[in-house]
Amino acid sequence: MTVYSSNEAPVARGSRLAFHHGTLMAVSIHPFDTALGAEVRGLDLSASVDDSSFEIVRGAYEEHSLLLFRDQTLSPEQHIDFSRRFGALEIHVLDQWRHPEHPEILIVSNIKDKDRHIGVPHAGRYWHTDLSYMVAPSRGSLLYAIEIPEQNGRPLGDTRFASAVAAYEALPDEIKARIADLSATFSLAHHRSKLMADGADQSPLTPEQEVKVPTAVHKIVQVHPVTGRKCLFINEGHAVEILNVAPEESRELLDLLCRHVTKPEFVYRHQWRVGDLLMWDNVATQHIAAFDYALPQRRYLHRTTLEGVALA
């Protein structure tokens, strides 16, 4: 590992030195061997992160779209404090699954208290990006693993992430031209109907929730609001139909683009460990969870969600 002194610290790669509890620590960025993602080492997120280390993290987030911080021990307050360094937090519309004392935290879990799910039981059942059904989809999500199911020492419930940037770049020119000005509708109610049609143990959104998240319209090709890179912004979980084309063409294009974006060459598969904090960009990536475990195997994570800006 290369170690730089702080005044020669490169913006995204490499390392810099920082004192933490009197110990010299070096923040370093280790890109994965995949289309997206990097591990950040040398940071204890339960303590406050100094500004120059934070700028390295922010630069790495822009460059790699997904960051992994291993071996963290975070209280809800510490998780929220670190998340807020990136901007304001969403209070998720699914109020039944927010943390009872910290509404900024959404609980993702298969655990039940009697008959009641204590967290979102089907988060990530289909490829999606968080809050793509809102006018201003999220800038990013930070998911912290507290309990991870396993079998014979092997973790279950992996999450796969696809790079919407690499997927866009790899599209044939003819398709790029065809979708350049197209928009699609995105809906959480549609997502819920899909889950129910697939037999998931779910009820429809309440009328109050439906009012808070009406159907949104977004362009299929987004210029990323921070990096300026073009992203293929369409996902099987929330996208309903492509506007201003015949219904068959909408179905055909949706199917083609959703299958394209999740091809293995654009994907990183995350195998969870307790103590992982994983953060991802909801415009530059999409994700899906594996449901290869069941109670009494328990899965329990905390998520914070960054506010985003209104997209085209």
Q: Applying CB under 6 A, which part among 2-10, 81-89, 123-131, 255-263 lies near ligand OGA?
A: 123-131
Q: Binding to ligand OGA by residue 149, rule CB under 6 A?
A: no
Residue number, 242 or 288, with CB nearest to ligand OGA: 288
39, 90, 130, 281: residue in contact with ligand OGA (rule CB under 6 A): 130
**Catalytic pick from 130, 238, 276, 281?**
130
Q: E-strand spans in 103-225?
A: 106-109, 112-113, 116-117, 140-147, 150-151, 154-155, 159-163, 183-186, 216-219, 221-223
Q: Binding to ligand OGA by residue 28, rule CB under 6 A?
A: no
* Total interface residues for ligand OGA by CB under 6 A: 11
Distances (CA, A) of 144 to 73, 83, 130, 167, 298: 9, 11, 15, 27, 15
CB of residue 129 to Mn ion, shortest distance in Å: 7
| Residue pair 297/172 in contact by the 8 Å Cβ criterion | no
292 catalytic per annotation: no
| Residue pair 15/1 in contact by the 8 Å Cβ criterion | yes
CB of residue 191 to Mn ion, shortest distance in Å: 11
Residue number, 39 or 130, with CB nearest to ligand OGA: 130
Contact of residue 289 among Mn ion, ligand OGA, none (CB under 5-8 Å per partner type): ligand OGA
Instruction: State how far the Cα of 17 lies from the Cα of 33, in Å rounded to an integer.
Output: 25
The count of C-alpha atoms lying within 13 angstroms of the C-alpha of 163, restricted to the half-sphere facing its C-beta, is: 28
Q: Binding to Mn ion by residue 281, rule CB under 5 A?
A: no
Number of helices and strands in the chain (H, E) = 7, 20
H or E element that contains 289: strand 285-289
CB of residue 125 to ligand OGA, shortest distance in Å: 8
143, 166, 213, 220: residue in contact with ligand OGA (rule CB under 6 A): 143
Instruction: State how far the Cα of 257 lies from the Cα of 235, in Å rounded to an integer.
Output: 8
**Burial class of residue 26, CB neighbours in 10 A (0-12, 13-18, 19+):** middle
Name the residue among 105, 132, 110, 100 with its Cα closest to residue 238.
Answer: 132
Residue number, 192 or 303, with CB nearest to ligand OGA: 303
CB of residue 70 to ligand OGA, shortest distance in Å: 16
**Catalytic pick from 13, 125, 287, 299?**
287
Count of residues in the chain: 312
Which residue in the block uniquely carries the two structure tokens 């959480």?
Answer: 188
Q: Binding to Mn ion by residue 130, rule CB under 5 A?
A: yes
115 catalytic per annotation: no
148 Cα distance to chain centroid: 18
CB of residue 124 to ligand OGA, shortest distance in Å: 3
**Catalytic pick from 13, 99, 122, 128?**
128
Instruction: State how far the Cα of 259 lies from the Cα of 236, in Å rounded to an integer.
Output: 9
128 catalytic per annotation: yes
Residue 90-119 contact track with ligand OGA, rule CB under 6 A, x = bound: ------------------x-----------
Q: Binding to ligand OGA by residue 123, rule CB under 6 A?
A: yes
Q: Binding to Mn ion by residue 236, rule CB under 5 A?
A: no
Q: What amino acid is encoded at 157 in this protein? A: G
**Which residues bind to ligand OGA, rule: CB under 6 A?**
108, 123-124, 130, 141, 143, 159, 287, 289, 301, 303
Which residues participate in catalysis according to the annotation? 128, 130, 287, 303
